[in-house]
Amino acid sequence: MEMIEKGGTRPTVRIHRDLYQGTEQWLAARCGMLTASEMGLIITPTFKVAKNEKEKAHLYELLAQRISGYVEPHFVSNDMLRGQEDEIEALTLYARHFAPTEAVGFITNDKWGFTLGYSPDALVGADGLVETKSRRQKYQVETFVVHVLEETIPSDFLIQVQTGLLVSERSWCDLISYSGGLPLARIRAYPDAKIQAAIVEAAAGFEERLAAAHALYRKAIAKAGNIPTVRRVEGEILA
């Protein structure tokens, strides 16, 4: 793990090069942590604090992970499987045509009094990030028509990209949009102070609500009695 000091008295950015994305160790490192890929659940596309069922569900999911130390498995769709293969091809093309990349498992930053996490698709040198997206062809065409010329990040990915820049404290992020059979799209994003301030505000409020819910959980456990149970993994349940 590499720790990077950015002008303070101690390192805040930590690059976990010893982790591999998707492994049990990677899941354990992310357990209970608010991360870039999920930030869109707690902040709206207009950069307001989300107050809806998705935000509430995510709060309880992360609280459960912090209590249990366990990340429940998620359904992997065909689109997600295709995306994993497309990511490899997209990064290969990026390295061939733009710049060499480095794969790392996870980056964390705790400068705000709480920790945010980010799993980059790749690092570029000392200053850059790469975030890849596998797209259906209609969205790839839309990306070229609407976003490439204007150099704007599609709204679906803007919060994630800005959170990645915030956590990593890097200077830029190349969003790579990939759709097999169509040209590769690259859009470079830079830190946006206004968006990142909104992200920090939303995350701080989320952490406060999560802590309050955790206190109520402990109070309820004390009242109801802490009767332990045994977790069965999915394979044991199906058997």
- What pLDDT sits at residue 235? 54
- What pLDDT sits at residue 237? 46
- What pLDDT sits at residue 4? 59
CATH topology of domain 2-238: Lambda Exonuclease; Chain A (3.90.320)
Pairing type for strands 185-189 and 172-178 reads antiparallel
Phi, psi of 4 (to 5 degrees): -120, 125
The whole-angstrom separation of Cα 124 and Cα 198 is: 26
The whole-angstrom separation of Cα 118 and Cα 84 is: 17
* pLDDT digit string (tens) for the chain, length 239 residues: 665 545 456 678 999 998 988 889 999 999 999 999 999 999 999 999 999 999 999 999 999 999 999 998 876 667 767 767 899 999 999 999 999 999 999 999 999 999 999 999 999 999 999 999 999 999 999 999 999 999 999 999 999 999 999 999 999 999 999 999 999 999 999 999 999 999 999 999 999 999 999 999 999 999 888 888 888 776 544 44
Within 10 Å of residue 97's Cβ, how many Cβ atoms?
Answer: 9
As given in the structure block, the two tokens for residue 204 are 């701080």
